Amino acid sequence: MIKFFKCILFTALIFLAACKKGEPVNEYYFASFTAELLALPGTMTVDVYVDDTKVDTLVAGKTIGLSSPLMLSAGKSSKIIFKKAGTDTLLLDTTVNATAGALLALKLAYSPTLGIQSFMTAGNVVIAADSASFFLYNQLPVELQADDVQIDAYLFKFNGTEYEDTGISWKGFEKNKLHPTQISLLATENEVPISYILKFKNTVTGEFLIDAFSSEECAISPIPGKSQIITAYGVQQRGRWKFASQNAEY
């Protein structure tokens, strides 16, 4: 028993000697993050940095930070930076101030082919075989949407007779940007594809944009059972511009 108390006393003396009066005991807390790069047409490999330190390389269709955590200091600002692999070309960055133990999940869309370079804000979605989930990207040319015109996008569904408003819209549908709203909807009924169109409303005049063929309609075809980005863009037909769309699965 005497030996036991001597041992406790000796340990306490060592601890007190190590701590000078008035000197705080430093405690370090950490957060972590994951990063996923969507496999889109033309997606290139990116290097990942935290502040000035390279922490990993990210390839299309992969997620880093799952098996080996990518650490951040908690309670202070850190900048997570994504650069074109092997270069100093900045693609995307974000400044975060994470709490201790937090796990941040980042999802990136980077496709020079589609003209997309953006963070995705939604989480994973379970998609039924007859449904589709998608983000909307605005790549309308100046011939269809003037640079000084701001628009909202509206979704219409064919009811067998005409197209009716679904009540789904994308407010502030900015040019050359991926809208942050993710939509999930039925893509087929009784295995028959459902016809959808987009219309683009000028936020100042309240009128829908029209193409060179006097059409307000931009047809879209959500792919059943898939996550995708639908890009609204323009094509020339007989030298005149018309609305068009294309899908990119991920």
Instruction: Say if CB 170 and CB 179 are below 8 A apart.
Output: yes
pLDDT attached to residue 123: 53
pLDDT classification of 247: cutoffs 50, 70, 90: very high
Share of the chain above pLDDT 70, in %: 87
Nearest to 155 by CA among 223, 242, 217: 217
d(CA 68, CA 56): 10
Instruction: Say if CB 195 and CB 160 are below 8 A apart.
Output: no
107: how many CB neighbours lie within 10 A of its CB? 18
Three-state secondary structure call for residue 194:
coil
pLDDT classification of 212: cutoffs 50, 70, 90: very high
Nearest to 176 by CA among 91, 233, 227: 233
Which letter does DSSP use for residue 25 in this model?
A: P
CA 219 to chain CA mean position, Å: 24
pLDDT attached to residue 180: 86
Nearest to 197 by CA among 237, 230, 238: 230
Strand partners, 91: none
What's the rounded mean pLDDT across residues 39-63? Answer: 93
What tokens does 202 get?
A: 């000028």
- pLDDT digits over 53-99, tens only? 999 999 998 999 998 889 999 988 999 999 999 999 999 999 999 89
Strand partners, 219: 197
pLDDT attached to residue 186: 96
What's the rounded mean pLDDT across residues 219-229? Answer: 94
- pLDDT digits over 157-205, tens only? 999 999 999 999 999 999 988 898 999 999 999 999 999 999 999 999 9
pLDDT classification of 18: cutoffs 50, 70, 90: very low
pLDDT attached to residue 7: 43
d(CA 159, CA 47): 47
Is the pLDDT score of 20 beyond 80? no
Residue with more model confidence, 13 or 194 = 194
Give the chain's domains with CATH numbers.
30-120 (2.60.40), 131-249 (2.60.40)
Left if phi > 0, otherwise alpha if psi is -120 to 50, otherwise beta: which for 11? alpha
- pLDDT digits over 134-143, tens only? 999 999 999 9
d(CA 36, CA 61): 7
